[in-house]
Each structure stands twice: as structure tokens, then as C-alpha cells.
């Protein structure tokens, strides 16, 4: 027969309520008692029924992650990071894809929240960058934590995990400048994403710091996709003032730019240097491997989930990093200008 919470309480010599407190990681249990209960849990191989816990009381032991992002690697990293926090805290994760530009977005998410009885939402772009949407979610009496691009939070609507894309983009562009490049192009992601805005701002700042005149013909608007990199690189290499280096807004774009260079018979990095951003699998699966900025997405997501769970329990968040700066990784796709 399946082990019950009553069996655990008997084995540990404590009340059912004490077992519940330990399983829910509540701070009001003494360490010796906590260890005694966990020993019983492990010896009996007790598996808490989280769905039953959600239905039985007013507390929810689930959080949700909604997303609208074409980058599958980013979504998977976010899911894995959030799941890691959920496993440690005894929570379940509800994953809900949806379209940010849908006319029925608010109604869809409102219904999902009411039917799923979640404790809170982890929001990534573009949802985290939609203040009216966030404000509406907060009226539903759940917690929200946002993952956003920037060095400081844009407001105090809800807590944020900030990613300093500006500083990282400046480092990538400076690396290209240090290699002797002056004609440095930029292929952007979607203009409405703050990551695009911040990375473009870092690119422009590095050029200004090095007294390199900005050539707007070398900035190509695009999307966070492989195809955008292919088209953007072809457009740039058809210009009279061809770039000697291209900084792409993410690794998927960079992989597309590298593919376009091969189609055009351009050697990388001898004739053209290409850099990406995020250190996704794209950066390691291309040849040559891409210079990029390492963005620890699973850790960022885990900290967002830990902060969300702590807020849902009215606890103080501990050991949570709220500011990240992606770090430059130099690989084979960039070299000195020839």
C-alpha cells in the first residue's frame, strides 16, 4: 500500500501537522525534528501528493511559467531552472505557452490562474515588459516575479531579476574593437524587446567610447531567429561599406549570419568576424564556434522561482542573485582584422 503522511508521522513520532510543516519547508520547525521527519520520509519513500495538497487547503503549492519566445533553447533553460527550485521547495510547475499579442491574453491568463490555483507567475519577456499586464495579474491575488533586461528595475510594480545586457554588449563590441575592427555591424532582434534595446545601446556606447563614428547602414533590424541572421548578413555584405565584423543580438541570429557567410564564400573569421549573445547551444554547435556572452539562464530562472516561492510563503528571500551580467566568452569566430 502507498505510504501516507500518517505513516510518516508515526515513524517519526511527531504529529501529522509537524510532518506537513517539514514537507512544506516552513521555518517554524526545529532542526532535530526536521531531520527526524526527513529520515522517516526517505526510509518510507513517501511521495507527497501535491495536487491533493492544493485542493485540501487554502495554500497553493504550484507556480506557473508562461512564455511566448521562438527560441526553444531559452524556453527549455527557463523551465529547467524553475523546475530545480520547485523540486527543492516541494512545488509543482505549470507551463503555459501563449501569444503575447493575442487580443484575449488577459482573459486567457486570468482563466488559467483561477482554474489552476497557482501561487504565482514567473514572467519572462515579452510579458515581463508589459506593465499593464503585470498590474492586472497582481489584482488576482498571486505573486509575480519578472526576469528583465537592464541594470535597474524600471518600476516597483513587482520584483525583478535583472540581466545587464547593456554591459555585456559593450564588452562584446569592445572585444571586436580591440581586434582592430572599426566597421562593426549589428543585427538586432525584435525592436520591442528590452534585450534588443539594451544590447544595441551597449554596442553604440562601445563605438562612442572608442571614437568610432556610428554608421546606421551597419545596423539591421531583425528578429531573434536563424533566418533573420541569414537575411541580415546577406544585406550587410551587399553594402558598399561592408563590415569586417558583425555583432548579432543572439546566438541563433549569429548562426544564421555564419551560414550566410558560407553561402557567400566568406571565410570566418579570416574575412569576417561574427559574435553572438547568450552562449546557447547554437554558439557551440556551429563551426567555427561563436564568440558570445554567457547568460546563465537556468540559474536566473531558478533564482526567479526561489524569490517567487519565498514571497508566496511570506518568507524572506535568501541567497538569491537579483542582478546578472553576462560574461564575454571568446571563441574561434572572431579574430584580428586583416
- Tens of pLDDT, residue by residue over 65-88, are 999 877 888 999 999 999 999 988
Q: Where are the alpha helices (DSSP H) in the chain?
A: 5-12, 16-23, 31-44, 50-56, 72-89, 105-116, 131-138, 165-178, 194-209, 226-237, 251-263, 281-285, 297-312
Mean pLDDT of 91-107: 91
In this structure, the answer to whether residues 171 and 279 fall within a common structural domain is yes
Residues 6+ apart with CB under 8 A from 286: 254, 255, 258, 333
What number of other Cβ atoms are within 10 A of residue 26's Cβ? 13
Please check whether residue 182 lies inside any domain of the structure: yes
**Same domain, residue pair 290 and 170:** yes
- 36 and 96 housed in the same domain: no
pLDDT band at 27 (very low <50, low <70, confident <90, very high): low
Asked if 113 and 96 sit in the same domain, the reply is: yes
C-alpha distances out from residue 315 to 90, 136, 304, 312, Å: 15, 24, 14, 8
Q: Is residue 338's pLDDT more than 50? A: yes
Pair 290, 301 in one domain: no
What is the b/e burial string over 238-259, where b = at least 16 CB atoms within 10 angstroms of the residue's CB?
eeeeebbbbbbbbbbbbbbbbb
**Pairing state between β 143-149 and 160-163:** parallel
Q: Report the distance separating Cα 143 and Cα 154, nearest Å.
A: 18
Is pLDDT at 41 greater than 60 in this prediction?
Answer: yes
Q: Are residues 158 and 301 in the same domain?
A: yes
Is 53 domain-assigned? no
With contact defined as beta carbons under 8 Å apart, do 333 and 268 qualify? yes
Residue 21 counted as domain residue:
yes
Residues 156 and 183 reside in one and the same domain:
no
pLDDT at residue 57, rounded to an integer: 46
Rg over alpha carbons for the chain, rounded to the nearest Å, is 24
150 Rama sector, left if φ>0, alpha if ψ -120 to 50, beta otherwise = left
Query: β-strands 120-123, 62-67: how paired?
Result: parallel
Nearest of 158, 147, 256 to residue 193 by alpha carbon: 147
Number of domains comprising the chain = 3
pLDDT band at 163 (very low <50, low <70, confident <90, very high): very high
Residue 52: band (very low, low, confident or very high) from pLDDT cuts 50, 70, 90? very low
Look at residue 30 in the predicted model and tell me its pLDDT.
85
Closest CA to 82 of 97, 92, 69: 92
Length of the chain: 338
Q: What is the pTM of this model?
A: 0.81
Least confident of 53-62, 105-114, 160-169, 316-325: 53-62
DSSP string computed for 115-164: HHT-SEEEE-TTGGG-HHHHHHHHTTT-EEEEEEESSS-S-SSS-EEEE-
- Please tell me whether residue 224 adopts helix, strand or coil conformation: coil
What domain range is 192 assigned to? Answer: 165-294
Residues 154 and 256 in one domain: no
The answer to the question of residue 332 being in a domain is no
Are 192 and 277 within one domain?
Answer: yes
The CATH code of the domain that includes 190 is 3.40.50.2300
Q: Check whether residue 269 and residue 303 sit in a common domain.
A: no
What confidence category does residue 190 fall into, taking pLDDT thresholds of 50, 70 and 90? very high
CB 187 within 8 A of CB 223: no
Greater confidence (184 vs 26) lies with: 184
List C-alpha distances in Å: 262 to 186, 237, 240, 259: 19, 12, 19, 5
Instruction: Output the domain CATH number for residue 34.
Output: 1.10.260.40
Amino acid at each position: 500500500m502507498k505510504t501516507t503522511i500518517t505513516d510518516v508521522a508515526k515513524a517519526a513520532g511527531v504529529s501529522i501537522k509537524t510532518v506537513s510543516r517539514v514537507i512544506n519547508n516552513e521555518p517554524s520547525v526545529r532542526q532535530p525534528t526536521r531531520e527526524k521527519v526527513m529520515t522517516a520520509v526517505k526510509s518510507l519513500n513517501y511521495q507527497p501528493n501535491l495536487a491533493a495538497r492544493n485542493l485540501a487547503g487554502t495554500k497553493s503549492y504550484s507556480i506557473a511559467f508562461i512564455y511566448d519566445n521562438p527560441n526553444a533553447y531559452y524556453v527549455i533553460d527557463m523551465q529547467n531552472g524553475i523546475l530545480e527550485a520547485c523540486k527543492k521547495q516541494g512545488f509543482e510547475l505549470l507551463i503555459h505557452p501563449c501569444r503575447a499579442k493575442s487580443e484575449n491574453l488577459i482573459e486567457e491568463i486570468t482563466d488559467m490562474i483561477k482554474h489552476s490555483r497557482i501561487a504565482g507567475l514567473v514572467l519572462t519577456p515579452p510579458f515581463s515588459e508589459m506593465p499593464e499586464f503585470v498590474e492586472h495579474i497582481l489584482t488576482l491575488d498571486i505573486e509575480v516575479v519578472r526576469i528583465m533586461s537592464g541594470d535597474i528595475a524600471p518600476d516597483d510594480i513587482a520584483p525583478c531579476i535583472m540581466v545587464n545586457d547593456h554591459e555585456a554588449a559593450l564588452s562584446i563590441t569592445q572585444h571586436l574593437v580591440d581586434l582592430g575592427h572599426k566597421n562593426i555591424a549589428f543585427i538586432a532582434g525584435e525592436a520591442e524587446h528590452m534585450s534588443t534595446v539594451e544590447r544595441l545601446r551597449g554596442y553604440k556606447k562601445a563605438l562612442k567610447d572608442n571614437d568610432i563614428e556610428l554608421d546606421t547602414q551597419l545596423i539591421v533590424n531583425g528578429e531573434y531567429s536563424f533566418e533573420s541572421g541569414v537575411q541580415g548578413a546577406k544585406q550587410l555584405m551587399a553594402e558598399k561599406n561592408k563590415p569586417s565584423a558583425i555583432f548579432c543580438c543572439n546566438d541563433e541570429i549569429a548562426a544564421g549570419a555564419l551560414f550566410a557567410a558560407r553561402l557567400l564564400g566568406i571565410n570566418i573569421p579570416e574575412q569576417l568576424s561574427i559574435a553572438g549573445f547568450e552562449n546557447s547551444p547554437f554558439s557551440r554547435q556551429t563551426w567555427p564556434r561563436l564568440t558570445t556572452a554567457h547568460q546563465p539562464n537556468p540559474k536566473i530562472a531558478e533564482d526567479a522561482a526561489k524569490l517567487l516561492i519565498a514571497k508566496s510563503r511570506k518568507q524572506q528571500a535568501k541567497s538569491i542573485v537579483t542582478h546578472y551580467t553576462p560574461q564575454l566568452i571568446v571563441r574561434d569566430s572572431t579574430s584580428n582584422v586583416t
